[in-house]
Amino acid sequence: MKLLLITILLMFHTDPTKIGKVNTLKTEAKKSYLSGDYPVAIRQYKQLIDSLQINEDEVKLNLAHAYYHSKDTTNAMATYQSLTASQTNALKSIANQQLGVIKNQQGKLEEALSYFKLAIKADPTNRDARYNYEMVKKKLEEKKKQEQQKQDQQNKENQQNQNKDKQQQNKKEDNKEDKKKSDEKSEQSDEEKKKQEEEKKKQGQQKEQEQKDAKEKKDTPPELSEKLQQIKITEEKAKMLLEAMKNQEIQYLQQNKRKATKPKEKGKPDW
C-alpha cells in the first residue's frame, strides 16, 4: 500500500513530456559524442544540466569527457574536479584518473601521480588508473635520474672549469716567475759580461805596461844596468829617481825664467 502511494506521487509530480525530452536529448548527446562531434555533444549535455535540471553524475562525466576531447582543458578539469566528491566510487575514480591524465600531459608528474593514487584508492579495480600510476612513477624516476645526471655533469663541468682556471693561473704565475728568473739571469749575464770586459781591459793595460817596461828595459844601456846592479837599486827605483830629477830640473828652469824677467835697477851695472 505504501509503495503504491509513492508510485502515484511520482507519477503525479513527473512530467511525461519532460521525461521523453530528457531521454531523447541523452540519446542524441551520446550519439554526437560517439561520432566525435564534441562541440554538439557539449551543447546537448549542457542543455540537459542547465535547462532540464538533470543533475546526474553520468551526464556530468560525459560532459567532462566531451570537454577533454575538444581540448577545452579548463572546463574539463573543472567538471572532473566536481565529480571527485561523487558518492559513486567508480565515477570518483574515473574523475581522479582523468585529472591525472591531464596533469601528466602538462608535464606535472608529481600531481599526476597523486591523482592516480586517489583513483586507485577510490576503486582498486580501476586497471587504467593503476597502469597510469606505474607509468608515471617510472617516468618520474627517470626524470629525477636524468636531472641528477645533468646536475652531476654540470658539477663536473664546473669543476673542470675551476681546474682549468687554476691551471691557467698557475701557468701565468709560472710564466711570471720564469720571466723574473730570465731577467735576473740576464742581469747576471750583463754583470758577468761587464766584469769580463773590465778584466780584459785590465789585462790589456797590464800587457801594455809590460810591453812598455820591456821596451824601456831594452832601451836601457847595458852599462847602466850593470851599474844599477852594482849599487843594488832596481830599475824601477832608478826610473823613479830619474823622474824626480826631471821634475826638479823643470822647477829650477821655471824659477830662473821668472828671475830674468824682473826690471833692472837704475845705477847698477848689468852684472
Give domain limits for the chain. Answer: 2-146
**What is the sign, positive or negative, of the torsion defined by CA atoms of 233, 237, 241, 246?**
positive
Average pLDDT over every residue of 85-103: 96
Please, is 252 exposed, middle or buried when counting C-beta atoms within 10 Å of its C-beta (0-12, 13-18, 19+)? exposed
Average pLDDT value for the chain: 82
Average pLDDT over every residue of 222-248: 68
Band (pLDDT 50/70/90 cuts) for residue 22 is very high
- CATH 1.25.40.10, applies to 2-146: yes
pLDDT at 1: 38
Band (pLDDT 50/70/90 cuts) for residue 53 is very high
pLDDT at 119: 97
